[in-house]
């Protein structure tokens, strides 16, 4: 029987991509913000309704560049979530900052009610994650940040194309970071971007990605090299033309999952968020116990269906953080409960209805046997 991966990248028609590659071949400009890069940047900013959009080579470099651009004091504390991909916390630590873990709500987004108690004189920023493309409580987070003069940087790696109350979610906070990895809703193979409305932040981001070079004779800052190349930009241009179709395909399969699985004893599916236009980046299901989650996971794997325990273990429990001060101080019972029971079912734009039914049949069969 055909294997079903947890995700599969959306690709444009091959001939369409080749037409973009022809421009690169003819120009012999492969990187350094050539014609494809600038065309992609313009199209991306227009789609996101965010003129201050800076493409990067990948999402993690985007996150590190954004943290550097905020100019937080060395050793400062950044309140963040334990329920995310490791990149979120790694970027904080690699930037010479200290993560402080705040618990999450039942949908996995940061719990604003826990923020205030974690603020100290060393706190400089909040780094929430729009996990699974679900929008954080941006208003309450902004209120806490304003009361304590904190920066807010959103990890929006899962939230490409998501809108909240009609506004692109990347407009919230001092900046938002996107990932264009092959596993994401929108892909440039590897890639990412930072979105900001702050002109000073925008210039620092430009410096961070290109050595601080302003022109042939001036290097104004000590920057690195995180430029998106022309081949990535070409893929982005092509995929951006088809993003509506890709999201619609995901949405159809997510609704099929809901129709088949909602209300089943032993599992919980987070409800749709009011006022949010989703991108259906992932389809997380939360099982009542870890034993039940693992049984469903094993049954799916036995049928050549590959789900993912996303996110398990929690970041504070990973080898590289276990025993650290941040990990030992983490009081995150809701996050632990979610991690123990979560399973992301396969979801991608061209997942077939019959494949989705096959996945649901496996999940239901495992639940009934339990």
User: What pLDDT does residue 112 have?
Assistant: 98
- Token pair, residue 124, equals 């400089």
Structure-token match 């993690």, residue found: 60
Q: In sequence order, which residues have a C-beta less than 8 Å from that of residue 336 and are 6 or more positions away?
A: 314
- From the list 56, 29, 48, 46, the residue with the least C-alpha distance to 206 is 56
What is residue 292's predicted lDDT score, i.e. its pLDDT?
97
**CA 69 – CA 67 distance, rounded (Å):** 5
Could you tell me whether strands 77-80 and 123-127 are parallel, antiparallel, or unpaired per DSSP bridges?
parallel
- Which helix (H) or strand (E) element contains residue 230? helix 230-241
Average pLDDT per consecutive 10 residues, the chain (370 residues; last block may be shorter): 95 98 98 97 98 98 98 98 98 98 98 98 98 98 98 98 98 98 98 97 97 94 97 98 98 98 97 98 98 98 98 97 91 97 98 98 91
Q: What is the spatial distance between Cα 78 and Cα 87, in angstroms, rounded to a whole number?
A: 14
Q: Phi then psi for 100, rounded to 5 degrees?
A: -125, 120
Domain 14-241 shares a fold with domain 243-369: no
Q: What does the pLDDT read at residue 128? A: 98
**Phi/psi at 259 (nearest 5 deg)?**
-65, -35
Measured CA to CA, the distance from residue 78 to residue 100 in angstroms comes to 6
What is the model's pLDDT at position 1?
81
d(CA 281, CA 258): 15
345 Cβ contact partners less than 8 Å away, ≥ 6 residues apart: 6, 257, 283, 285, 307, 359, 363
In the prediction, which pLDDT does 370 show? Answer: 61
Burial code (b: 16+ CB inside 10 Å, e: under 16) for 315-332 equals bbeeeebeeeebbeebeb
3-state secondary structure of 256: helix
Please state whether 295 falls in left (phi above 0), alpha (psi between -120 and 50) or beta: alpha
Neighbours of 245 (CB within 10 A): 12
pLDDT of residue 369: 81
All structural domains of the chain with their residue ranges: 14-241, 243-369
Fold (CATH) for 14-241: 3.40.640
Choices 3.30.479.30, 2.30.31.20, 3.40.228.10, 3.90.1150.10: CATH for 243-369: 3.90.1150.10
* Closest by CA position to 228, among listed 263, 257, 190: 190
């Amino acid at each position: 029987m055909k294997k079903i991966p947890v995700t599969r990248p959306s690709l444009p028609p091959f001939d369409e991509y080749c037409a973009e590659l022809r421009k690169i071949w003819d120009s012999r400009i492969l990187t350094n913000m050539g014609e494809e890069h600038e065309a992609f940047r313009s199209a991306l900013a227009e789609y996101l309704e965010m003129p201050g959009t800076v493409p990067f080579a990948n999402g993690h470099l985007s996150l590190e560049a954004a943290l550097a651009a905020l100019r937080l004091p060395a050793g400062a504390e950044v309140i963040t979530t334990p329920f995310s991909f490791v990149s979120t916390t790694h970027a904080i630590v690699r930037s010479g900052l200290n993560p402080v873990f705040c618990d999450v709500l039942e949908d996995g987004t940061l719990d604003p009610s826990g923020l205030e108690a974690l603020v100290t004189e060393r706190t400089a920023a909040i780094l929430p994650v729009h996990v699974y493309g679900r929008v954080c409580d941006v208003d309450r987070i902004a209120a806490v940040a304003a009361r304590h003069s904190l920066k807010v940087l959103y990890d929006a790696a899962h939230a490409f194309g998501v809108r909240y109350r009609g506004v692109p979610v990347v407009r919230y906070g001092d900046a938002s970071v996107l990932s264009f990895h092959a596993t994401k809703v929108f892909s440039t193979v590897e890639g990412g971007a930072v979105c900001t409305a702050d002109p000073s932040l925008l210039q620092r981001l430009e410096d961070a990605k290109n050595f601080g070079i302003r022109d042939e004779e001036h290097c104004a800052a000590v920057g690195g090299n995180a430029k998106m190349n022309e081949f990535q930009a070409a893929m982005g241009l092509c995929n951006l033309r088809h993003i509506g179709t890709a999201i619609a395909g995901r949405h159809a399969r997510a609704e099929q999952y809901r129709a088949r699985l909602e209300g089943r004893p032993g599992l919980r599916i987070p409800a749709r968020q009011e006022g949010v236009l989703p991108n259906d980046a992932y389809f997380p299901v939360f099982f009542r116990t870890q034993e039940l989650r693992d049984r469903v996971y094993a049954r799916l794997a036995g049928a050549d269906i590959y789900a993912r325990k996303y996110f398990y273990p929690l970041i504070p429990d990973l080898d590289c953080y276990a025993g650290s001060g941040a990990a030992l101080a983490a009081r995150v019972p809701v996050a632990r409960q979610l991690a123990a029971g979560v399973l992301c079912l396969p979801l991608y734009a061209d997942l077939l209805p019959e494949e989705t039914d096959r996945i649901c049949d496996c999940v239901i069969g495992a639940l009934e046997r339990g």
